[in-house]
Amino acid sequence: MPDSDKELESALSELSEIDTNECITCTKRSLCTRCKRPINVCWCSHLPVDKIKTSTTVLILQHPNEEKRNVRTAPMLESALENCHIIRGRHFSRHPLLRDTFSNPERSYVLYPASDAIDVEDLVAVGRDYSLIVIDGTWNQAKSLYFGNKELHSLKKVKINPTHPSYYVIRTQPHNECLSTVESVALALSKMERWPELNSLLVKPLVAMCAFQIEHGAEKHDSKEEQIISGTFKKKIPRKIENRIRQCKDFKHLLG
């Protein structure tokens, strides 16, 4: 990857730390026992009737701060898939599920866009009983979990190539290619399982949730990249990030 691209990627990843989202109104409404969301915004009716069985086991490493967010998408995967586990923490080497995975590096992939990551499309038939490790959180949280768990480094990395912007339009994504956790896993898993329809099955609760919230007044959010390009990014961009973006030739003319 050219240096300018790396700089841009790094600068955009830091944008993910700037919270431009409105808080969802929190009142003492009754909660769904399954998705733990208020009944009127519960997405459970958009889950498959029976949990979907895949040959790949999905292990979602969740940064403790991600759990505190109002709207998370990893639980949609845990509710829809039989072989999916959310594991919360900062260090994972002692967790029984991960100990097994780390000791079987030939049967495991980490979904992480490292420079040596293989495009998930290019994987030859994956076969049965593989594990896909996914890191849930903002870009900076994901990086800190990746670099803080050296066992992940020796596993093979895979990356996805989204062909459309995120459906998660009520949360501002850092840039156009940035997908939510449920979308990233749905895309990767549909390729690994050679099952194209799996993608839309898994993102259904997200699409329904966003449609409902927009219908009830939530604003659609362009990605931060899109907002910077169109000049509508309302927050002050830290000078360090702005300077790095300015150094990238693709953005020079847009920032003036």
Query: What is the nearest approach in angstroms of Zn ion to the Cβ of residue 35?
Result: 3
By the rule CB under 5 A, 24 interacts with Zn ion: no
By the rule CB under 5 A, 34 interacts with Zn ion: yes
Query: What is the nearest approach in angstroms of Zn ion to the Cβ of residue 77?
Result: 14
Task: Enumerate residues 44-83 that contact Zn ion by CB under 5 A.
Answer: 44
Distance in angstroms (rounded) separating the CA atoms of residues 118 and 110: 10
By the rule CB under 5 A, 35 interacts with Zn ion: yes
By the rule CB under 5 A, 32 interacts with Zn ion: yes
Q: Which of 41, 105, 116, 103 has its CA nearest to residue 72?
A: 41
Stretch that binds Zn ion, among 34-42, 124-132, 186-194, 214-222 (CB under 5 A): 34-42
CB nearer Zn ion, residue 28 or residue 236: 28
Binder of Zn ion out of 42, 47, 209, 245 (CB under 5 A) = 42
Q: Is 60 left (phi over 0), alpha (psi -120 to 50) or beta?
A: beta
Stretch that binds Zn ion, among 15-23, 27-35, 64-72, 162-170 (CB under 5 A): 27-35
CB nearer Zn ion, residue 32 or residue 117: 32
Rg (CA), the chain: 19
**Contact code string over 191-230 relative to Zn ion, x by CB under 5 A:** ----------------------------------------
Which chain residues interact with Zn ion by CB under 5 A?
32, 34-35, 42, 44
